[in-house]
Every structure is written in C-alpha cells, then in structure tokens.
Amino acid sequence: MTTDHTNILKGIAAAPGISISHAFIYKKEKEVITSEPITDIDEALKNFDTALQQSKKELRKIFSLAVDKLGEKRAAIFEAQMMILDDPILISSLRKRIRNEMIVPEYIVNNEISKYTDLMNLSHEPYMKERSHDIEDIKNRIIRNLKKKKWKSKITSDVIVVTSNISPSDTVLFSRVNVKGYVTDFGGLTSHAAIVARSLNIPAVVGLHEATNRIKEGELLIIDGFKGEVIINPDVDQLRVYKNKIKRLEQQDHELDKLRNFPAKTLDGIEIQLLANLDLTEEMEFIVHNRAEGIGLVRTEQLFEEYEVFPDEEEQYQIYKTIAERIYPEHVIVRTFDIGGDKVLPVDLKEPNPFLGWRGIRLLLDNPKLFKIQVRAIIRSSSHKNVKLMLPMIASLEEIRESKNLIEECKKELQKEGKAFDKHIAIGVMIEIPSAAILIKDFAEEVDFVSIGTNDLIQYLLAVDRGNDIVSNIYQEFHPAVVRTLNHIIQEGKKAGIMVSMCGEMAADPFAVPLLIGLGLNSISVSASAIPLIKNIIRSLYFDELQKLANDCLNFKTEIEIKNYMHNFFNKKLQGQIKNLY
Ligand code: PEP
Ligand code: MG
C-alpha cells in the first residue's frame, strides 16, 4: 500500500465521469517511418487505395470551400493536389513498389514522393520550391490516412486513450470503438474535443502536460473527469475508493433518472427552460430520454464533419427535418455552420490566428452559395413551425442585416417553388463576441432571440485561447468582467422582450448554474448527459436566495472572490445532492 500519491497527475476536468481501464497511447506526431515488411499484399494495397480515396475526399472538401474565398488561383493548389492523386504513372509505380518490395505502403509513399520533392528543392526556381511544399503536403496527407487505417485495426475496445492533443473528429472516431476516457497533454475545457467528449458521455482530463511521458501503453489508469485527475497504476486503496465512487455514480444516475418527468423548477416555483445541445446525431435518443424541453443548439458543422463535400440541400433538409420531427412539439434551434477556429476546415488553410480569422458568419457571408444551401434546407425543415435559425460569431449589425437579406431571398425562392415552410421562422444570433454583448440592445431590435456562447465570449473578452492549457488558469468564467457582461446581456435582452438563452459550457457547470439563474437567465442549453444533474440543482434552490447571491457576485471585484463565494455556496447547499463527486 502506498501512502504518497505520486501516481496522480492533475489536469483540467474536461468531461465528467470516472473510468478504470488500460491505457492506449495514441501518437499523432510525425512518426518515424520504418521499412516494416508486410505479409498480406492485398490488404496493404487495399489500405493504400482507401488512404488515397480519403485524401481525395479531404481535398475536395477544402477545394469546394476555398474556391469562393481564395479565388481560383490559390484554390487551384488544392485542385493540383487532387490531380497528383489521380496521376496514373505515380500511383501505378507506388502500387508496383508495394507489391515487389513488400514493405508497408507509408514507407514506399514517403520514399517515392520524397525523390520528387528532393529534386525540386535543389532547383533555384522559387516556383519549383513552392510546388515541392504542395507535393510534401500530399505525401503527408496520404501517410496520415494510411496511419489512421492502421490505427483503426490496432485499437481494442474499452481503453483510455492517452495522447498529446486530440481533435473533435478523433474524439468521434475513437468513440466508435467504445473508449472509456480521454487523457491529453494539451487542450482546454471548452476546446471542441472536450465538448464532444461530454456529448458522448466519455470522461476526459486534458492539459496534463506529461501524460504521454508518464503513462505507458497498457498501464492501468483511473480517470476522474470530475476532479481532473488521472491515477497511474492505482494501488489497492485507490482502486477501492474509486470502485466505490463508480457505484455511487451509478446510484446517482439512477436517482436522477427518476426526475425525468419533473420540471426544472426552483423550490419557490421559478421555472427554467432546460434545453439540450446536439453535436452528434447519436445523441438524439438520449436527448429525448432525458426529456429536454427542446434543442437549444445544433452544431451543424459537427454533424457534417464526416462528409467529403458539404451535403447538398436535400441531404441537409433530411437531417434537419428528422431532428425537428423527433423533438416535435418542442423546438429546435439550428445554428448555421460555425466553421473555423478549431473546427473542421481552415486548419488546412493555415491561418495564423484561426480563432480571430475566417470563422462562422464571416465565412458564410463570403460563401453565399454554401450559406444559401444551408439556409434553404433549414427553412424547409420548419414546416411544422418548431425550427429556429441561429447565426454564429456575429460581431455587427451589418452581419445580421446581410444574413437576414439572404434569408429573405431564400424564403422568396422557396415560396415561388411552392415549398412548405414557416413564414415566421424565428431568427436568432449567438452572443459570443464582446462587440455583440455591448450591442445587445440594438441586436435585440433585429432578432427574435439570442443565445449566449460563453465558450467564445470568455475567450474573446479575456483574450484567452479556449483550447490552450497553458493559459487555462486565466480562462475564467467567474471573472468579474464575465459576470457583469452576462448580466448586461440578460438584463438588456429581457428588457427588449426577446428570449435570452445560454448554450456555452458555463450553463452546464454545476458551480455556475446558481449564479446564472440568479442573474435572471431562465433558459439554458446543455449536453444531454448534463440535464439530470442540472435539473436536480435547480430543483434544490430558492430563486430568492440566488438573486441575492448574484447581486453579491456583481459587486465583487476579483475572480477569486466570486469563485470562492460560489464554491462555498455549492459545498453548503449542493455537495450532498451529488454524492460528493466534485
Ligand atoms: C460557445 O461559443 O459558447 C458556443 C456554444 O459555440 P461553440 O462552442 O460551438 O463555439
Ligand atoms: Mg462559439
């Protein structure tokens, strides 16, 4: 029995839950490519073909988006890359070498394509050097896809994935093999990978810095997504404690499940609308099961991560219609693509500051064709009058007006085409940029509702990257500027008579919920897995006392005061409700 607990790593609690399982080390960094022999040529060739197809898919997706914004010239790079993938001479010589030399495809691809790039790099022509980067890109893309292929067949079920960093799409991919947890060196609480982990109900601890150094393949781990801790090779005592906690957690889930049919009402009768965020189609049944009173945010960009090009109007219509029908008579708020930042495409466009770059509404307004296809599909799905449309990353009135013009144009077209839709479909915007928070009063005159996106609002208000663990200690939801800004949005929005909701992760934080309700927020949208717990918290409190609590918080001048105040309140009033898991 060890008493010193040097086997505990501390990080950021990114998705709640506890698991005990073995480590699977997932290395994404450029690995050394060795000339490993193969035994099954057919399988290697099949993997090679799949990797080529996947690379083409990715490039088509990038191309379809890049052409509008970057112009033919820059977008042509991606077209040229696609052509290289179709070059019969190159492909057949690669296939021939795999067959003859019987070495893993990634080695052959690296070796063969490097011959060209090395030659090009020797040239004195700057043009040739530039082109060699493009070809290098292609090579890395194929190798990455070959590795993924290999990885897929290697991973076993029920492991805890340990990696340096993880993307939202990796998170989804892993979930298909039933992983038990995510442990990463880098990343922050509101990175999209963490949000997806929460949606999938898989515990995650991120920003541990030395996880990949300290943890070895196959070691037994305990992941505590409440405290943000990972225990390596737990001793008997630690195992006993955690097995007990898992039991309590199951018991709590069981108890909370009984609340399903009760409203989210405070003890003095104030009812809070409890909505669900939808990131993955798989969540739909869970949302219905947990009796969400509607869907407060559909992250459409997340739904389409797997598509090679953006799905056409018909495909999108079918997806939105299915969601709207499933949640009927409740409402669903469909947010138009929020591409950019740490999500989907622009990674490949190599922006220097993606979070301050071509993201959300900016990208949509620059791509009216793509924007209109989505808007038409959303409007068409509204024929039962339970769909609302929401715009992401709005910073100015011009963006709202320009978008509304485009929406009107779509309505007119659909009317002419005789398509059924809700003529009064509600239009709302995310409040997630400080300029939007400041202009809330003016925005409220233009839209039917707003939803506060704290993940981005905090990031932009405090100038702290939401996905960077190095600065995660100053990414503070209880920063006085955040609390006062939220208060401003809620008060002004209510005064203007529009619906104000919140769909950022702060709405799902048990420590923050009492403050949010006290500030007067009466609608929140959280991942389906958080609904029972948040409902239980709401049902255990008096609105009266929360108003006082919020008032006190508005007067504090530092984060630490607000945080301590909220944590003390939580420990006094709520810790017992949730079996001391936090
Ligand atoms: C937010 O910013 O709070 C939000 C809900 O949007 P996303 O997390 O998708 O950026
Ligand atoms: Mg956002």
Task: Kindly give the number of the ligand 1 atom that is closest to the alpha carbon of 453.
Answer: 3
What CA–CA distance (Å, rounded) separates 122 from 266? 72
Residue 34 within any structural domain of the chain: no
Q: Looking at 207, 222, 252, which one is the last position of a domain?
A: 252
* Cβ pair 398, 443 in contact under 8 A: no
Q: Is residue 33 part of a domain?
A: no
Query: How many angstroms does the Cα of residue 58 sit away from the middle of ligand 2?
Result: 24
Does residue 504's CB lie within 6 angstroms of at least one atom of ligand 1? yes
Do residues 204 and 274 share a domain?
Answer: no
Whose tokens are 């006392």? That residue is 545
Confidence check: pLDDT of 447 > 50 = yes
Picking from 146, 176, 193, the residue at the C-terminal end of a domain is: 146
Q: Do residue 279 and residue 410 come from a single domain?
A: yes
Mean pLDDT over all residues of the chain?
A: 89
What average pLDDT score do residues 193-216 get? Answer: 90
Please give the pLDDT value at position 124: 72
Does 1 fall in a domain? no
For the cut 70, the answer to whether the pLDDT of residue 248 exceeds it is yes
Best probe residue, ligand 1, of 297, 303, 454, 456 (max atoms within 8 Å of C-beta): 456
Active site residue 289: no
pLDDT, residue 349, reads 63
Whether 209 is catalytic:
no
Average pLDDT over residues 262-269: 96
Q: Do 247 and 275 belong to one domain?
A: no
Distance 497 CA to ligand 2 centre (A): 23
- What CATH number is attached to the domain comprising 439? 3.20.20.60
Element (H, E) at 483: helix 480-495
Tally of domains within the chain: 3
Within a domain: 186:
yes
In this structure, the answer to whether residues 473 and 353 fall within a common structural domain is yes
Q: Which domain holds residue 16?
A: 8-28+152-252
Asked whether residue 410 falls in the same domain as residue 530, the answer is: yes
- State if residue 187 touches ligand 1 by the CB under 6 angstroms criterion: no
- The atom number, within ligand 1, closest to the CA of 503 reads 5
* Whether residue 299 has its Cβ less than 6 Å from ligand 1: yes
Q: Do residues 347 and 483 both lie within one domain?
A: yes
Taking the CA of 451 as reference, the closest ligand is 1
Residue pair 88/135 in contact (Cβ under 8 Å)? The answer is: no
Residue 403 in domain: yes
Shared domain for 464 and 552, answered yes or no, is yes
pLDDT for res 169: 67
Residues 376 and 415 in one domain: yes
Q: What does the alpha-carbon distance between residue 304 and residue 295 come to, in Å, rounded to a whole number?
A: 18
In a domain, 3, yes or no: no
Decide: 37 and 175 in contact? Cβ < 8 Å: no
Which structure tokens are listed for 284? 């739909």
Determine the Cα–Cα distance for residues 387 and 47; give it in Å rounded to an integer. Answer: 42
CB of 425 within 8 A of CB of 379?
Answer: yes
- In the chain, the amino acid numbered 15 is A
Task: Report the C-alpha gap between 386 and 285 in whole angstroms.
Answer: 18
pTM value > 0.85: no
Stronger pLDDT, 258 or 476, i.e. the higher one? 476
Determine if ligand 1 sits within 6 Å of the CB of residue 506: no
In a domain, 295, yes or no: yes
CB atoms within 10 A of CB 261: 6
- Assess whether 280 and 354 both reside in one domain: yes
Catalytic residue among 192, 331, 410, 553: 192
Which of 142-146, 267-271, 279-283 holds the top average pLDDT?
267-271
In a domain, residue 35? The reply is no
Residue 7: name the closest of 245, 207, 249, 239 by CA: 239
Do 133 and 77 fall within a single domain?
yes
pLDDT surpasses 60 at 29: no
Q: How far is the CA of 432 from the centre of ligand 2 (A)?
A: 6
Residue 138 shares a structural domain with residue 246:
no
CA of 455 to the centre of ligand 1 (A): 5
Do 105 and 166 reside in the same domain of the chain? no
Instruction: Kindly report the CATH number assigned to the domain that includes residue 18.
Output: 3.50.30.10
Would you say the CB of residue 503 lies under 6 angstroms from ligand 1? yes
The CATH code of the domain that includes 83 is 1.10.274.10
End-to-end CA distance of the chain: 25
Centroid of ligand 2 to alpha carbon of 150 (angstroms)? 34
Q: In which band, very low, low, confident or very high, does the pLDDT at 337 lie, cut at 50, 70 and 90?
A: very high
In angstroms, the CA 129 to CA 465 distance is 34
Domain end among 252, 282, 312: 252
Kindly report, residue by residue over 390-437, the tens digit of the pLDDT. 999 999 999 999 999 999 999 999 999 999 999 999 999 999 999 999
